[in-house]
A and B are shown apart, each in its own frame.
Chain A
Amino acid sequence: MTLVLVGISHHRAPVELRERVALDPAAAAALAGRLAEGAGEAVCLSTCNRTELYVTSGEPAKAEADAEGALVGIAGVDELAPALYRLRDEAAALHLFRVAAGLDSMVPGEGEILGQVRAAYEAGSTGPLLDHVFRQALHAGKKVRTVTAIAEAPASVSSAAAALAEQVFGDLRGCSILLVGAGKISELAARNLLSRGARIAVVANRSVDRAAELAGRLGGEAVPLEQVEGELARADVVVSSTGAPGFVLGRDAVARALRSRRGRPLFLFDLAVPRDLDPAIDSLDGCYLYDIDDLEAVVSETLAGRRREAERAEAIVAEEAERFREWQASLDVVPAIASLRARAEEIRAAELRKAEARLGRLSEDERSLVESITAQIVNKLLHLPTVRMKQAAAAADGVLYAETVRHLFGLGEDDR
């Protein structure tokens, strides 16, 4: 059986092309089922960055053509074909391992892909080969994230803001957020903070209706922008992103608010351009002010860190790919090993039957002892040849060894 991969990803295809073959989970599962009818096993992995078909077949060229045809058929445009990549066996497995580890993603080490690979595997039509390769991919993905620090650093401005707030407050549970502005950017940053346990205390906006709408979705109280200063005392984190042409909060206003905070620090994120918060606020003791440039600088540093960690991760997935190659090669000798063991067992059972007359005098315990001893002799005799054949298979001599064993032991053609 050969493992075949046909796919398209962000490396070679723009979003206009990728979106044509983007499939929802049900459609992906249906496609996998359809391909498995012809090939045997199939999994369809479809995310916003890639659509990939993994199939196994004794006729790889045909399986490849079928998979390609399926994707081109879904896309409905001929331009898809040149953007497709086609890989087989070890190369296909290595690719899947890299995908699961997040090494093929736009942001190296991103965590979502591992769940997507798992979902695709669970929805696919799998058998021994795809079961093995997908389990190994999930293992490789987890190992990379455990052994390396590739997934530790934040990869977006909003997650960097949340991680920075954690550097001051530790656990964000119980921390209060003051949102200044009710736009998309504020909401994105707020959602990231919320996911780490913080709570929205106040949403301040020029239009109170919009503030109330956002507060309705995220929680908290809506107030007009003019009341921001009064709300500073009860906030731990301020996220500001308004369209105001000047500063919404000045240094003096924050200094006044700090007096009532009894030493509690205040973290302010200014995501607006032009800026909402006076940069002089940062000079106040216990105040930390980060604007959009500061956050982007932190993100680019952490992304550089991820790339460095990616080198270590590549070594891990290469190791896994080598293990897969050895396992797949060992499949060549499995039928020969099975035949050999069956033949040995057949001889053992026949010899015991022949000796039945003499063994008849033995008690039940003695008979089972004889059974056990003869089985052990057979197992011990066959253990080393079995190990050596598997080793030979890993070194690419498997087929030769299998043929030799068949010849030496006279194993029938029907065993092949």
Chain B
Amino acid sequence: LAELLFWPALLAYGEAAVAYLGEARRPGRPGRLATWGVRVGWLVQTALLAFQAARAEGFPWTSWGGVLNLFSWLVVSAYLVWGCRARFRLLGLVVMPLALVLFALAHAGGGTDVGARSDLSNLFLVLHVGLLLAAFAGFALAAALAALYLWQERRLKRHATSVLRVRVPPLASLDDLVGRTIAVALPALSLGMAVGLARLQADEGFWLVIAATAVVWLAYAALLVLRYALAVRGRRAAQLSLTAFALVVVALPLAHFS
């Protein structure tokens, strides 16, 4: 059943990713098809996660594949909250290929299998992992928004004639949303770290994980200070958001799974 659920979800995400490319070229029907792809894929992936949870003893997403599976679901969930609205639709141009790749990698890493044994058996650990993943999903969404900002800003700077035909949210809205998303994700990261520190026992990799997470936390905290205290906004803020997310992408998997 896991395989039966995985492939339709992957196909739906793939369809959405391709349809968003079509939407960028000629808005209209491709955008609607993409939205349905996202919805169908998300529903099927949700069913897969529910099936995995029902069959597992404890928290079933502790392997790196499992984490990617849950993470891709969180990213798509965050996008679904408001990403499918017409003005934000093109955000899918960034989000859906990312979700597609993460989901495929999760499958390759055995993260979509059923019946995995869990190392996380108590609520605190589940909370810790859940909060961290939710925070990283938020950072991923902020990065996607920042990428969309830079793309749109570049079109405006280059005086692209299609700028009013292929519409994306206004720069001010994108900039604001990047800041707000980070402002929500950072407390989730802080709480997840606090829960982890309270319950985790130090082992060989413990300090490496703590250091990597702390670096990510500092980077995003600095970003918020720059934005709200020193008025660093616009292109520079978007570039900094992408740089901080690159840190998440590189540092955390290395620290967690090395």
Contact = CB atoms under 8 A, between A and B. Distances in A.
B173 A167 contact: no
A149 interface: yes
A262 B232 CA distance: 8
A413 B21 CA distance: 67
A170 to B, nearest CB: 4
Nearest to A295: B159
A197 B234 CA distance: 23
Given A300-B161, A302-B164, A263 B234 contact: yes
Nearest to A168: B171
Nearest to A153: B164
Contact of B231 (A262, A290, A300): A262
Interface string A122-157: 000000000000000000000000000100011000
Nearest to B156: A288
Given A262-B231, A285-B236, A167 B156 contact: yes
Contact of A298 (B161, B231, B232, B235): B161
Nearest to A267: B156
B234 A265 contact: yes
A294 interface: yes
A294 B159 contact: yes
Given A149-B27, A169-B170, A298 B157 contact: no
Nearest to B233: A263
Given A263-B234, A285-B235, A167 B161 contact: no
A285 B234 contact: yes
B165 interface: yes
B162 interface: yes
Given A168-B156, A285-B236, A153 B173 contact: no
Given A298-B159, A302-B165, 18 more contacts: A154-B164, A164-B156, A167-B163, A167-B164, A167-B167, A168-B170, A169-B171, A170-B169, A170-B172, A263-B233, A264-B233, A265-B172, A285-B235, A294-B159, A298-B161, A298-B163, A301-B161, A301-B162
Contacts of A149: 27-28
B13 to A, nearest CB: 27
Given A263-B234, A265-B171, A164 B164 contact: yes
B69 interface: no
Task: Give the 8 A-B residue pairs with the shortest CB-CB distance, closest first.
Answer: A170-B170, A263-B233, A301-B161, A262-B231, A263-B231, A294-B159, A170-B172, A297-B161
Interface string B143-180: 00000000010001101011111010111110000000
Given A167-B156, A297-B161, A286 B234 contact: yes
A163 interface: yes
Nearest to B170: A170
B171 A290 contact: no
Interface in A163-219: 163-164, 166-170
Interface residues of A, number: 27
A305 interface: yes
A286 B167 CA distance: 19
Interface of B: 27-28, 152, 156-157, 159, 161-165, 167, 169-173, 231-237
A164 B170 contact: no
Nearest to A283: B157
Nearest to B232: A263
Interface in A47-75: none
Interface centre among B152, B159, B232 (most CB of A within 10 A): B159
Contact of B170 (A166, A282, A297): A166
Interface string A253-283: 0000000001111000000000000000010
Contact of B165 (A262, A290, A301): A301
Contacts of A167: 152, 156, 163-164, 167, 170-171
A311 to B, nearest CB: 12
Contacts of A6: none
Contacts of A305: 165
A223 B161 CA distance: 34
B170 A298 contact: no
Given A167-B170, A288-B157, A153 B165 contact: yes
A160 interface: yes
Contacts of A294: 159
Contacts of A282: 157
Nearest to B174: A170
Contacts of A163: 164
Nearest to A287: B157
A35 B126 CA distance: 82
A169 B28 contact: no
Q: Which residue, of B163, B164, B233, B237, has the highest number of chain A Cβ atoms within 10 A?
A: B164
Contacts of B173: 170
Contacts of B171: 167-169, 265
A168 B162 contact: no
Contacts of A153: 164-165
11 contacts: A149-B28, A167-B156, A167-B171, A168-B156, A170-B170, A170-B173, A265-B172, A265-B234, A285-B236, A298-B161, A305-B165
A164 B163 CA distance: 8
Contacts of B27: 149
Nearest to B165: A305
Contacts of B170: 166-170
A154 B163 CA distance: 12
Interface centre among B163, B233, B234 (most CB of A within 10 A): B163
Contacts of B234: 263, 265, 285-286
A149 B32 CA distance: 14
Nearest to A264: B233
Contacts of B232: 263
Interface in A298-343: 298, 300-302, 305
Contacts of A265: 171-172, 234
A285 B236 CA distance: 9
Contacts of A288: 156-157
Contacts of A290: 159
A264 B237 CA distance: 12
Nearest to B155: A167
A290 B163 CA distance: 12
